[in-house]
Amino acid sequence: MLKFSEQQEQLRKVVRDFVEKEIATIASKIDQEDTCPVELLRMTAQLGYNGVFVPECYQGVGLGYTERAIILEEIARHSAGFALALMTHHLGVYAILTWGNEEQKQKYLPKLCSGSIAGLAVTEPGGGSDFAGMKSTGELVDGYWVLNGRKCFITNSHCADINIVVVRTGEDEKGRPRMSVFVIDENTPGCKPGRKEKKTGLKGSDMGDVILDNVKVPASNLIGKPGDGAKIGLGTISEVGRSGMAAIGLGILRACLEDSVKFAKERIIYGRPLAKLTNIQFIIAQNRTDYEAGRLLTYNAVGIKDAGLPCVPEISIAKYFTTEAAINTAKRTIDLMGGYGVICDYPVDRYLRDAVASIPSGGTSYVMQIIIAGSALS
Amino acid sequence: MKINGEIWIVAEQVKGNLKEVSYELLGKAKELAVKDGFPVTAVVMGSGIGALPADLIAHGADKVILIDAPRLLLYQNDIYALVLENLIRKYSPGIVLFSASYSCSELSATVGAKLRTGVAAHSIDLYYNEQGELVQVVPAFGGRVLGEIFCPLTRPIIASIKPGVFKKQAKDTARQGEIIEEPAAGLEHYQSPLKAVTVVQEHLSGVPLEDAEIVLAGGWGVGSAEVWQLLEKLAQSLHGAVGCTRPALDEGWAKGEHELIGVSGKTIRPKVYIGFGISGATHHVVGIKDSGVVINVNNDPNSPVFQISDYGVAADVKELLPKLLEKIEEAK
Amino acid sequence: MNIAVCVKPVPDPKFYDKITINPETKLLERNKIPMAINPSDKNAIEAAMRLKELLGAKVILISMAPPEAKEVLKEGLAMGIDEAYLLSDRAFAGADTYATAKTLAAGLNKIGLFDLILTGSESVDGGTSHVPSQLGEMMGMPHLNHVMAVETEGDILKIKTKIENGYMLYEGLPPMVLGVSKEINTPRYVSLMGVVKAQGKPFTVWGLNDLQLNADDVGLAGSLTQPGSLRTPPIDRKVEMLDGDIEEKAEKILKILYAAGVLN
Ligand SMILES: Cc1cc2nc3c(=O)[nH]c(=O)nc-3n(C[C@H](O)[C@H](O)[C@H](O)COP(=O)(O)OP(=O)(O)OC[C@H]3O[C@@H](n4cnc5c(N)ncnc54)[C@H](O)[C@@H]3O)c2cc1C
Ligand SMILES: Cc1cc2nc3c(=O)[nH]c(=O)nc-3n(C[C@H](O)[C@H](O)[C@H](O)COP(=O)(O)OP(=O)(O)OC[C@H]3O[C@@H](n4cnc5c(N)ncnc54)[C@H](O)[C@@H]3O)c2cc1C
């Protein structure tokens, strides 16, 4: 049985209070304006959300990935777009926390816990899932690294204070590209946002290009060793990125479930609530089942991560399931609402767009299936 | 325990003017007096208020106890409570009714504690049941639930009454009544630990919400201060008043708390109520349920607000308001 | 400075439209509704925290509630309160405002001396707003309710209370009981760190035997008012939807106004 601790239950409650007052009320505005509400990210920082899994010695809260998933689920229940901005910030935080040296942790984590926003830039026009096709470069010149290239589809591209980028820094003895990770401080010349994309959904988190134009960073900004890039990039995305997306999918599932129940009870048709019709009950049953299944998969997976055990297959399963289920559930909820489902006064059309946009974020369902199958067949 | 004493009402006055609720309390007390046969007594406290007893008699008081003393110029809970405590101990009334305004409900609770007797809060109905007990009906859970309150063992029974719920009697200047002047007993040796420094009260313009024949109430769905302006305009051209829900007040569109309708605000009974962009939460609806015709405009055709309406209009407030204004101007 | 905040756990007001009365038992069906801290009590907690930050203070919260309320009260600790006292006993059930105030007073007197006792101005469930005044009487302290602002000037407290369409200003010295209303401040959101720290703060539970009270001073037995039956007021009407385009809808409304005699 999935059971949260008293502290986790309390945490969910206080997060929900915050989300209902500060985020739910502006969720459709966030979606329409499609710019990241940066001031909201500064508020969540004050409440500890931005550094929830960072130890107290770096001014974090010292909790884990289960608590992070609770926060993301609660936020995504009302605004999956904003949840994505926070979840991506966590990726930058995680990379430094896990692979940074003590000095880097002391320097960056307190800032990132208290309001500075992080982004993680991996993907390039040449490919997302294909690491080897990466063209951005880092060259060591006079003891400084000079970074050049263009990253695309980067969340928080236009609002991140601190960017963490993966670039190519040479080749290994077998001629394979060698990737390395750098942290770029605020206001470093040459690092700037480029084009901003218009997404189908998950609007309200900025997504676009990060341009590296002769960006000069000190050698001390290298995270891990030269060549650790693939490990850090993939490690961050596969565990923290995808578990975050699973939690966001879960939030969308809950939104659909709650809204479908509310509508079915309130809408009167032929003198009776819609909920009295059997086919409507089927939709409600399916929505509920998908939500429950997603909940078990997601919290099971992050529980494994919190236990410090290998968790990539479980996280991939959770991400695959919740995001796909979110699409189906949102579609069913639209069907349930009939005409109201597609008018923009109801948020369901947003849920569907958010669900669709959450498939590629952190790796598509095909990539998830390859990982899952790989683990099953190994 | 039977009621075995007079019915008192504590009249509420501000700067020498009686508040409407004082007459409403008299109206209810008269009704109760028909059943129990006791005279209705009004207590009025203040400074320089010698003209008020006649007005209270004209509105139904058989007796008025007047306490006119300089120290009673400004309402102050501890001082008023002490004087009332002594007065009640002297006369032993059976029932004492207060207004449920901020100050008088505070006063009722304080006096109740001093006399160690039960106090029913914000009552919306009072009647004798078949056993001859006084039933006090009070709202709870924001008006969602009404509960009966009894005060079986101690006297007097104290209740505060929500303004706007009871009807006052027609004024009859020919009515006769007895006026008793009492000193502010208990204050001789009393030094208050509190000092009332000032009272600030706004003067409100326009038709008061509770007197308007037509009330236009706006909710969160009005959406902006600009659209709210249209609502104000429409109210003006209809000689009506504007009311609001809690969110519209919190947004700062409505002029102030005096426009709030519902459990935490006013109870109104206009001939026509039109709600714009209101979802029909019980907290609001309890304040309008006795209105004549209830119309609601909401862009959600399934809004629960229509369940409490005589007429429902599924429309966007932003579009309907200008149309209504236009039509009404044409009609003039 | 020693401050006590009286906190009442109430069924979460977000769900009041769902409260119904069981037609057979005539009791409230509210079992599915989660508990929350009474809204204006959060303002009282916030006011206490601000005084603490400004002047330094030890702040405790006290509540008379069933044992399940413990979780809800922890939210007060998470907001920054130092210690919690829960007065809980079967004998306390069914208390009216007088018995509630009496029980709270006994608890407060047992804990120690206070410079300020803060309460909310009214609860959202019972909603009498009587407890602040009655508690003040029983503690033998000056008291004011519907407080919209408190400032300190040396030892003097300057207090603004709400009246219809305005306010009054008072001055006085502690100790005092103040019932604060929502205008006084905006309660802070609980931080995650607050949640974590709350778990380790002292939490005392006292029953009837711990207080200097008899069973007939408290609960229903000690109450001066007694509840009768409950009902939900009928508010539904039979609706007729006005159809047509916006033009026609406006015209139809006008017709209704003519018919009701408010337009001629
Ligand atoms: C103890 C307590 C006491 C309270 N006391 C009161 C009280 O005295 N008075 C009070 O009013 N509230 C009170 N409240 C608040 C109350 O519970 C509700 O939250 C409030 O009444 C809802 O206000 P609303 O209908 O304006 O807003 P909402 O519930 O947000 O409803 C807005 C409505 O507008 C519609 N809408 C949106 N856009 C448009 C558009 N463009 N055109 C047309 N329609 C649109 C929506 O469909 C919705 O139905 C109290 C709450 C508590 C807990
Ligand atoms: C339908 C109904 C009607 C009622 N009517 C009456 C009535 O007319 N007269 C009457 O005497 N009683 C009445 N009661 C009982 C009353 O609600 C309870 O006595 C309640 O425990 C205290 O009163 P309150 O909730 O009205 O508090 P309020 O006086 O409205 O509360 C103000 C503040 O006092 C503090 N406080 C109140 N209760 C507690 C507590 N248990 N623990 C800690 N702090 C607290 C809080 O800070 C709160 O914000 C009624 C109850 C119901 C359900």
Contact between B306 and C98 using a beta-carbon 8 Å cutoff: no
* Ligand 1 pocket, mutate which of B298, B305, B309, B323 (most atoms under 8 A from CB): B298
C7–A contact, CB cutoff 8 A = no
Question: Residue A175's pLDDT band (boundaries 50, 70, 90)?
Answer: confident
Identify the nearest ligand to the CA of B297 by its number. 1
Q: What is the rounded CA–CA span in Å between residue B271 and residue A360?
A: 58
Q: Three-state SS for C118?
A: strand
Contact between C227 and B149 using a beta-carbon 8 Å cutoff: yes
Q: What is the pLDDT of residue C51?
A: 96
Q: Whose CA is nearest to atom 9 of ligand 2?
A: B120
Q: What is the pLDDT of residue B108?
A: 98
Q: Residues A341-354: pLDDT tens digits?
A: 877 678 999 999 99
> Which pair of structure tokens corresponds to residue B184?
């502010």
Do B144 and B282 meet the contact criterion of CB atoms below 8 Å apart? yes
CA distance B302 to chain A (A): 6
Do C85 and C111 meet the contact criterion of CB atoms below 8 Å apart? yes
pLDDT at A340 over 90: no
Q: Where are the alpha helices (DSSP H) in A202-277?
A: 229-235, 242-266
Q: What is the pLDDT of residue B1?
A: 60
Alpha-carbon dihedral angle through residues B137, B97, B107, B178, given to the nearest 10 degrees: 180
Q: Which residue in chain B is spatially nearest to C173 when comparing CA positions?
A: B193
Residue C226 has its nearest CB partner, among B75, B152, B323, at B152
pLDDT at A128 over 70: no
Please identify which residue in the block is written with the tokens 């949260």. A4
Residues in chain C: 264
Index of the ligand 2 atom closest to the CA of residue B112: 11
Index of the ligand 1 atom closest to the CA of residue B317: 42
Which residues of chain B neighbour C138 with C-beta distances below 8 Å? 113
**Interacting residues of C154 by C-beta distance below 8 A, sequence separation 6+:** none
Amino acid at B135: V
Question: Domain limits of chain B?
Answer: 7-181, 209-331
Instruction: Give, for A211, the enclosing helix (H) or strand (E).
Output: strand A207-218
Question: Could you tell me the pTM of the whole model?
Answer: 0.89
Q: What is the rounded CA–CA span in Å between residue C207 and residue C66?
A: 10
Residue B281 has its nearest CB partner, among C17, C171, C233, at C17
Q: What is the rounded CA–CA span in Å between residue A44 and residue C50?
A: 21
- Scored b (16 or more CB within 10 A) or e, A307-342 reads eeeebbbbbbbbbbbbbbbbbbbbbbbbebbeebbe
CA distance C126 to chain B (A): 5
In the reported structure, the alpha carbon of residue C100 is separated from the centroid of ligand 2 by a whole-number distance in angstroms of 7
In the reported structure, the alpha carbon of residue A272 is separated from the centroid of ligand 1 by a whole-number distance in angstroms of 25
Residue C74 has its nearest CB partner, among A10, A47, A48, at A10
> Which pair of structure tokens corresponds to residue C40?
């204006």
Q: Which portions of chain B are predicted below pLDDT 70? A: 1-3
* Ligand 1 pocket, mutate which of B278, B289, B308, B316 (most atoms under 8 A from CB): B278
Residue C192 has its nearest CB partner, among A9, A21, A52, at A52
Q: Whose CA is nearest to atom 47 of ligand 2?
A: C119
Task: Please indicate if the annotation marks B280 as binding a ligand.
Answer: yes
Please identify which residue in the block is written with the tokens 């059976």. B94
Question: Residue C252's pLDDT band (boundaries 50, 70, 90)?
Answer: very high
B91 pocket-lining for ligand 1 (C-beta < 6 Å): no
B122 pocket-lining for ligand 1 (C-beta < 6 Å): no
B180 pocket-lining for ligand 2 (C-beta < 6 Å): no
Task: Please indicate if the annotation marks B296 as binding a ligand.
Answer: no
Q: Residues C144-175: pLDDT tens digits?
A: 999 999 999 999 999 999 998 889 999 999 99
B41 pocket-lining for ligand 1 (C-beta < 6 Å): no
The 10 Å Cβ neighbour count of residue C203 is 16
CA distance B283 to chain A (A): 19
Do A324 and A356 meet the contact criterion of CB atoms below 8 Å apart? no
Identify the nearest ligand to the CA of C95 by its number. 2
Chains contacting A (3 or more CB pairs within 8 Å): B, C
In the reported structure, the alpha carbon of residue C25 is separated from the centroid of ligand 2 by a whole-number distance in angstroms of 23
Q: Residues C194-226: pLDDT tens digits?
A: 999 999 999 999 999 999 899 999 999 999 999
Cα R_g (chain A), whole angstroms: 21
* Ligand 1 pocket, mutate which of B141, B249, B283 (most atoms under 8 A from CB): B283
Question: Residue C20's pLDDT band (boundaries 50, 70, 90)?
Answer: confident
Task: Please indicate if the annotation marks B283 as binding a ligand.
Answer: yes
For residues C109-119, average pLDDT:
98
Task: Please indicate if the annotation marks B219 as binding a ligand.
Answer: no
Residue B304 has its nearest CB partner, among A266, A340, A345, at A266
% of chain A at pLDDT higher than 70: 98
Q: What is the pLDDT of residue C14?
A: 83
User: Higher pLDDT residue, C27 or C242?
Assistant: C242
Cross-strand bridge partners of residue B68: B46
Backbone angles phi, psi at C185, to 5 degrees: -170, 175
In the reported structure, the alpha carbon of residue B261 is separated from the centroid of ligand 1 by a whole-number distance in angstroms of 11
Cα R_g (chain B), whole angstroms: 22
In the reported structure, the alpha carbon of residue B284 is separated from the centroid of ligand 1 by a whole-number distance in angstroms of 7
Q: Which residue in chain A is spatially nearest to B301 when comparing CA positions?
A: A267
Q: What is the rounded CA–CA span in Å between residue C220 and residue C217?
A: 9
Q: What is the pLDDT of residue A344?
A: 67
Structural domains of chain C in order of their starting residue, each with its CATH number: 2-217 (3.40.50.620)
Do B89 and B185 meet the contact criterion of CB atoms below 8 Å apart? no
Q: What is the rounded CA–CA span in Å between residue C136 and residue C158?
A: 18
Q: What is the pLDDT of residue B94?
A: 95
Q: Which residue in chain B is spatially nearest to A343 when comparing CA positions?
A: B300
Contact between C196 and A7 using a beta-carbon 8 Å cutoff: yes
For residues A324-333, average pLDDT:
98
Q: Residues A247-257: pLDDT tens digits?
A: 999 999 999 99
Task: Please indicate if the annotation marks B218 as binding a ligand.
Answer: no
In the reported structure, the alpha carbon of residue B280 is separated from the centroid of ligand 1 by a whole-number distance in angstroms of 7
Complex-level ipTM: 0.92
Structural domains of chain A in order of their starting residue, each with its CATH number: 6-117 (1.10.540.10), 119-229 (2.40.110.10), 231-377 (1.20.140.10)
Contact between A10 and C71 using a beta-carbon 8 Å cutoff: yes
Contact between C193 and A48 using a beta-carbon 8 Å cutoff: yes
- B102-115 helix and C97-111 helix, angle to the nearest 10 degrees: 70
Q: What is the pLDDT of residue C261?
A: 85
B31 pocket-lining for ligand 1 (C-beta < 6 Å): no
Index of the ligand 1 atom closest to the CA of residue B141: 1
Residue B310 has its nearest CB partner, among C133, C240, C254, at C240
Q: Do the domains B209-331 and B7-181 match in fold?
A: yes
The 10 Å Cβ neighbour count of residue B242 is 24
Residue C175: asked if its preceding bond is cis (omega within 30°), the reply is yes
Q: How many CA atoms lie within 13 A of A374 on its CB side?
A: 10
Identify the nearest ligand to the CA of C92 by its number. 2
B264 pocket-lining for ligand 1 (C-beta < 6 Å): yes
Q: What is the pLDDT of residue A127?
A: 63
* Ligand 1 pocket, mutate which of B230, B264, B318 (most atoms under 8 A from CB): B264
* Secondary structure (DSSP) of A106-145: HHHHHHHHHT--EEEE--BTTBSS-GGG---EEEEETTEE
Q: Which CATH architecture has domain B209-331?
A: 3-Layer(aba) Sandwich (3.40)
In the reported structure, the alpha carbon of residue B282 is separated from the centroid of ligand 1 by a whole-number distance in angstroms of 9
B5 pocket-lining for ligand 1 (C-beta < 6 Å): no
Please report the beta strands in C126-198, taking only residues with DSSP state E, as ranges in sequence order. Answer: 143-153, 156-163, 166-172, 176-180
Query: What is the homologous superfamily of the domain B7-181 according to CATH?
Result: HUPs (3.40.50.620)
User: Higher pLDDT residue, B164 or A76?
Assistant: A76
